[in-house]
Amino acid sequence: MTTPLLEVKDLQVRFQTDAGMIPSVRDCSFTVNPGEIVAIVGESGCGKSVTSLSIMGLLPDYGQVAAGEIFFDDRDLLKLSKKERRKLRGNEIAMIFQEPMTSLNPVFTIGNQIGEVIRLHQGLDQTRTREKSIEMLNRVGIPHPERVIRQFPHQLSGGMRQRVMIAMALSCNPKLLIADEPTTALDVTIQAQILEMMKKLNQEQETGVILITHDLGVVAELADRVVVMYAGKVVEQSPVFELFANPKHPYTRGLLQSIPKMDERREELDSIVGLVPNPLQMPSGCAFHPRCPLASDRCRGESPALTTLSENHTVRCFHA
């Protein structure tokens, strides 16, 4: 049996606000194996990005991991010192952030920002750092990298800035890559190239990948396994083909039914009624019951546990 590269166990994350402590992630558990791509999907506000920031150790000061464990390569990340986490971050665990314009420092050149990661973790001299920076920009398909390393973020397009972020993330050949909406700012052609590059890295170096996305087409193309989150909890987890062929949770079915299909002509797409609940006003019982067409009295009064349907398929629903 393969030993997981990453194992998240019963993770709970909360934030301090003027209204008190707000739970953001509640009882989240999943694994990532070497060479596996695990997609985390769900609407905005479901806890996907907060989970990834918890793994990276990048929660803001007002956020805290209230309970749970995060094991990476047999190390409990939550027990490491800040210095040990910094050594790990960017080197063995890397992240592609969602918004490249706010992630890149506007007062430093592209070369300075990529070079800082390379110098810090690989200890290369100035000449070799410049060569490696150019090599990484070339690897992600940026033309004229010798010129680009002298430019500032505002001089690049959104797609180019996202490629720079990807080059930074890949520069130290990480064991685990967390990609938070990595292709949002890119057109379809560039998106396909970036996804192909991530898949190649995954296959050649057995890099584990956590792909956070709203695009279920990307999930179908790239992922091996899918984790569906709702209101801070994992509500379904399954291999990608099984999830698309036989979704069990009503929320998962709603997400899949909202995708336009090539062989159907319809006036309107299906949608899930309502909104993700406010963490301060979480409904009793199952958090999805106010929006669920199958909701019963049991759903309104009792929170379902995660149930194993088969060896690799789990779901949190009384009606699955």
What whole-number distance in Å separates Cα of residue 207 and Cα of residue 118? 18
**Angle at which helices 126-139 and 110-122 pack, to 10 degrees?**
110
Q: Which residues of 242-270 are buried (b: 16+ CB within 10 A; e: fewer)?
A: bbbeebbbbbbbbbeeeeeeeeeeeeeee
Distance CA 177, CA 174 (A): 6
> What pLDDT, on the 0 to 100 scale, is given for residue 170?
84
- The pLDDT averaged over each successive group of 10 residues in the chain (320 residues) is 88 91 92 94 91 93 94 93 90 84 87 91 90 90 92 89 86 89 74 79 84 88 94 95 94 88 71 87 93 94 92 92
Domain boundaries, the chain: 6-92+172-261+269-315
Q: Which residues are registered as beta bridge partners of 234? A: 229
Output the pLDDT for position 185: 62
pLDDT of residue 56: 94
Strand order of the β-sheet with 20-32 is 20-32, 6-17, 63-72, 75-76
Helix axis angle, 110-122 relative to 158-170, nearest 10°? 10
Burial 161-186 (b: 16+ CB within 10 A, else e): bbbbbbbbbbbbebbbbbbbbbbebb
The domain 6-92+172-261+269-315: what is its CATH number?
3.40.50.300
**What does the pLDDT read at residue 139?**
84
pLDDT at residue number 1: 59
